[in-house]
């Protein structure tokens, strides 16, 4: 099929940020006298907004304090790391260039916190890469976190395409579920989670070279 649009998740798909979240969360847990159990926590919160993921963590580990205050603590930790170590996922830039060359419209649809999104944009020039008005965030859809399909449906509507004309590239189970709930073809990229957690996707691939071979060749 000749796809009209590719909708990219941001964290773990465009930018190599999930490892930075892990570092920040390890510090966050330690500051509260708790142990960060990555393999238990990350599958549950990946693709969620910072506020929603903090609420999940608070309930699971009985953190004391208001969710908004705890969210602010996590945001501050991630922000300090973002400014120093944020990079693109390997192969993204080359693949994106090829997609544009093939006449495919692209955008970002992310659950990322607005403050962190703005920082990533300033550091890596996302608005210049994707174009004005093509970075969509869950605050645009009432902060409905994935697996709710709202952010992907909104992106497709704004781009002027039907869901069936769009491909979503995701790295998290919640994001994959959101794409399928939106009625879109979904490619799962194994940058952050093992392939057995991504089985809802139409196809699970390991690199942007694999995605290029699958979509563009």
DSSP 108-159: EEE---HHHHHHHHHHH-HHHHH-TT-EEEGGGGTT--TTSSHHHHHHHHHH
Helices then strands, each counted (H, E), the chain: 10, 6
**Can you tell me the distance from the alpha carbon of 173 to that of 190, in angstroms, rounded to the nearest whole number?**
11
User: DSSP label at 202?
Assistant: S
Beta carbons within 8 Å of 162's beta carbon, 6+ residues apart: 156
Write out the catalytic residue numbers.
9, 11
SS3 content of the chain, % helix, strand, coil (to 5): 55, 15, 35
Cα of 38 vs its chain's centroid, Å: 17
């Amino acid at each position: 099929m000749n796809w009209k649009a590719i909708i990219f998740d941001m964290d773990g798909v465009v930018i190599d940020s999930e490892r930075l979240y892990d570092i920040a969360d390890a510090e966050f847990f330690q500051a509260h006298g708790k142990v960060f159990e990555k393999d238990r926590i990350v599958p549950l919160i990946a693709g969620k907004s910072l506020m929603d993921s903090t609420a999940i963590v608070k309930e699971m580990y009985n953190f004391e304090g208001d969710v908004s205050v705890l969210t602010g603590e996590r945001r501050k930790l991630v922000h300090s790391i973002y400014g120093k170590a944020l990079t693109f996922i390997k192969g993204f830039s080359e693949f994106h260039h090829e997609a544009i060359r093939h006449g495919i419209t692209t955008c970002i649809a992310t659950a990322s916190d607005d403050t962190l999104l703005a920082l990533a944009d300033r550091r890596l020039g996302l608005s210049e890469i994707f174009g004005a008005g093509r970075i969509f965030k869950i605050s645009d859809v009432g902060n409905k976190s994935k697996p709710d399909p709202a952010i992907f449906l909104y992106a497709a509507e704004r781009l002027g395409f039907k869901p069936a004309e769009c491909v979503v590239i995701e790295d998290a189970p919640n994001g994959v579920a959101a794409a399928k709930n939106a009625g879109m073809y979904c490619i799962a990229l194994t940058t952050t989670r093992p392939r057995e957690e991504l089985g809802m996707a139409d196809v699970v691939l390991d690199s942007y070279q694999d995605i290029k071979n699958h979509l563009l060749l």
